[in-house]
Structure formats: structure tokens, C-alpha cells
Amino acid sequence: MHRSLTIAILLIGTCAAWGQERPTPIPPPAVDGSHVSGSSEKAVLAGGCYWGTQGIFEHVKGITRVVAGFAGGQNDDDGGAESVMITFDPKTISYGQLLQIFFSVVHDPTQLDRQGPDVGHGYRSDIFYMSDAQRRVAQAYIAQLDRAKVFPKPIATRVDALPAFNPVDLSQQDFMLKNPHLDYIKVNDVPKLASLKQLFPASYRSLALQYRY
């Protein structure tokens, strides 16, 4: 299990500042895959606790499924990163647009081996590419944002080939949607939904709280 609810609630005293961060408007990627005609594509992204990463992307139009899990290992003890596997419709949203939301709303890409109150290599920022095209888009976008000094510090996000993706059990899937009133979620993740709606109003969609995995 990712963490107990008791631990999540105890963290509230240390993480309030992170939940109040303002969203970072960033330019779209200059290099991107076009809106191709395929029926679906997949992307694997690691941006800290998968509760919030999954919950944010589930509110993005064009995304048909988001699965929480670990990429690169079975868990954080063997090098795995808390990640999500996103299935999306490339006719509606491009891979580069996913990365724009990832960098601006989902997490702080300048933090190394941590996000907010969660510390460790398993919480690293990592883009696990599934094709050379994804690798090129990711590397070019990071270089573009660093050159433009969009963030106050260099981007720490890694770009790695996807070795494996291991979904977590059902109790951890759709956790943010099923537990919107948990203090950890309210402080760290709910503000990100407001940021998504503010920065990407055309891409935002509402969901019922009891989203079915």
C-alpha cells in the first residue's frame, strides 16, 4: 500500500505551503507530435505521489484511462517511481500538450527526488518514453523551458526509456476521486485542479467523485 491514511493526515502539518503554490503558465512545446489519426496512445509520467497525478489527468479531455503504478520497479524500494500510465486520444490531445500540463500543473519539475511533503527517489520527476518520438518531444521541451528560464531553477525531470510499468492494487486506484475530503488530498491536490481549470479551461472536464476504475 502506498501509505496509510493516518500517515497522510499527519503530513498535513508540514505540507500546507505546497498546496498553496500558484500554477506556472508555460509556453506550449515548440516540438510536438501532431494530432495523428491513431485511435489511442499511451504515456507514462512520474510526478510525485500518484494519487494526485492520476486525479489531475483524469480531469483532462482526450484522456480515456489513467492507471496508477510504479515505473521502473515494483515499488520505491527497488528503484520504481510513483507513476501513471495515461491512455489518450491523439486526435484530441497531443503528447506535448500532456507534458505542458505535467510541467505547469501536476508537479514542480525543479524538485529533485521529492514533491511537496513526499521525499525519496520514488517521488522523482521522470518521463518514461515509449518511443523515439516521445523521447525527442520530452528532451526538446525541457531544453526549451530551461532556455526560457520559465522556472526559477533548472528542471530536474529525467527522461528515461520505460522498462516496465506495474499497476498498484485497486485500493490505490482513483484515490483522489474517491477521497476528495482527505486532508492530504485537499491541501496537496485539490488546488491543482483549480489550476488546471484556470490554465487549461478548454481541456478541463468535471468527473463524478466515484469514478470507476
- The pLDDT > 70 percentage for the chain reads 85
Work out the number of other CB atoms within 10 angstroms of the CB of residue 173. 20
SS3 188: helix
Ordered structural domains, the chain, with CATH: 5-199 (3.30.1060.10)
pLDDT 10s digits, 61-120: 999 999 999 998 888 888 999 999 999 999 999 999 999 999 999 999 999 999 989 999
pTM: 0.88
Closest CA to 110 of 162, 140, 149, 161: 149
pLDDT score at 213: 40
Query: CA 41, CA 116: separation in Å to the nearest integer?
Result: 30
pLDDT of residue 200 exceeding 80 = yes
pLDDT band at 128 (very low <50, low <70, confident <90, very high): very high
CA angle (74, 110, 12) in 5-degree steps: 70
pLDDT band at 12 (very low <50, low <70, confident <90, very high): very low
Which residues, other chains included, contact 189 with Cβ-Cβ below 8 Å and sequence gap of 6+? 19, 51, 52, 55, 56, 176
Provide the grid cell at 13.
Answer: 502539518
Q: Which of 12-16, 50-54, 56-60 has the lowest mean pLDDT?
A: 12-16
Pairing type for strands 41-47 and 158-161 reads unpaired
pLDDT band at 209 (very low <50, low <70, confident <90, very high): very low
Q: Which of 19-28, 77-86, 132-141 has the lowest mean pLDDT?
A: 19-28
Which residues, other chains included, contact 211 with Cβ-Cβ below 8 Å and sequence gap of 6+? 58, 174, 177, 178
Axis-axis angle for helices 190-199, 50-57 (nearest 10): 30
pLDDT score at 74: 86
The active-site residue out of 43, 46, 49, 162 is 49
What one-character-per-residue DSSP string does 116-128 give? TTEESGGG-EEEE
pLDDT score at 212: 43
pLDDT score at 153: 96
Query: CA 42, CA 33: separation in Å to the nearest integer?
Result: 13
- 15 classed as catalytic: no
pLDDT of residue 159 exceeding 60 = yes
